[in-house]
Structures are given as structure tokens and as C-alpha cells.
Amino acid sequence: MTLQNWNSKDWKVDFPDIYFAGEIKNAPVIMKIGHVTEYILRDIIPDAMKALQNGGELSSLDLCLALVDYMAGYFVGKVAGEKAYVDFMRRYFPPKYHPFLQSIYGQLRCGLLHNLVFYNPNYKGERIKYTISGVAHNHLEEIEEDHVIFSIPIFIEDTRRAYIMYSYDIVMKTIDNPELIENFNHRYNKLDGMSSIMLKTPD
């Protein structure tokens, strides 16, 4: 893990019971964040873990890189680009990521999602030689031959943790974060909430 002292008990939310009937775009933000939380923690993160456990390292990594895009969209209230992606990671991912944020976006996110390789041909910044691992216990550390290890299981955990911290800021720190809440609502309400989550149906 990249944050050894992080304790999930420090990020528990607590709020009164809520009843709402009506269009989802008019629902209180607490209900909307609940829908997104279920989607991320019940569907997306477990799917990434299942893919990793069954030998789908690239599928798992792609899903989590896309998940950061998804969260960054709520963070800025619109479709996320490079700045939103990097700014979200800078705020909610451990400091160990900070020297790598541009290349995570340019090489990994854009390279993998658009080009299926770690080198995005349009990326202009410093190119880092990543070694992607589905089992490594170290992460974002230099290994032999100037390669940097990128651990998928640690990235999954850090992505999950980032969402917990972000949602805590919205639910428990509403007075301190009016812009975050406004951005979240704006993004959630696109297409009357239909572009926010997908519902799984039994096979």
C-alpha cells in the first residue's frame, strides 16, 4: 500500500435518513453520491479485482484508469481532460504519485485506452519506462534498468481510497466544498442522470 497509515474508519460518513420522491436530477446530493458510490464500490472495483485475479491485468488496469476519468468528471463537473485528471489525482492520490501524474495520464491512460500500448505516440512529456505488474508489492519505484514498477493491485486500492476521500469531502464537508458539490451535481444531472451510472441486470 502507498499510504500505510490510512484508516478507513477515519472516512466514515454519517447523515440523517433521507426520503425523496421525484426526478433524480432534483434529488439531494447525498442520494446521488450514494448511487455513484454503489456503482464504483459494488460494480467497478470488484470487476477490476476479478479481472486481475483471472489473469486480465490489462483489463483491470484499463478499467481503473477509466474510473479515474469518471471520478475526475464529477470533480470538475464536466468531461474530464488532462488537467482535471491530473488535478483529481494530485488531490486524492498519495503524494508518491505526484512526480508521475503527467505520464500516468499521457502514457498509461491515453496510451492504453487509445493505443493499447504504454507509449502514447502523441505524448510530449518525459517518457517513463513502466513495468506493469499484477502482483508487485512495490509501486512507483525505480527498479533495474531505469524502469519504474507500476503495481495494478496497489493502483486499484489507491483508486478506491481516492473515491472514498472524495465522497467524504462531499458528504461530510459540505460547507468547505461548495464548488465540489456544484460540480458533482452538474455532472450527475447530465441527461437527467442517465449518463452517471449503469445498472447491472441479472443474466
What are the domain boundaries of the chain?
Answer: 28-193
Question: What is the percentage of the chain residues whose pLDDT exceeds 70?
Answer: 89
> For residue 114, what pLDDT band results from cuts at 50, 70 and 90?
confident
Predicted confidence (pLDDT) per residue in 45-85, tens digit: 999 999 999 999 999 999 999 999 999 999 999 888 999 99
pLDDT for position 182: 93
Predicted confidence (pLDDT) per residue in 152-171, tens digit: 999 999 999 999 999 999 98
> For residue 119, what pLDDT band results from cuts at 50, 70 and 90?
confident
Does 16 or 123 have the greater pLDDT score? Answer: 123
User: What is the number of other CB atoms lying within 10 angstroms of the CB of residue 80?
Assistant: 22
Does 13 or 41 have the greater pLDDT score? Answer: 41
Predicted confidence (pLDDT) per residue in 166-186, tens digit: 999 998 888 899 999 999 999
Per-residue pLDDT at 20 exceeds 80: no
130: its cell numbers:
513502466
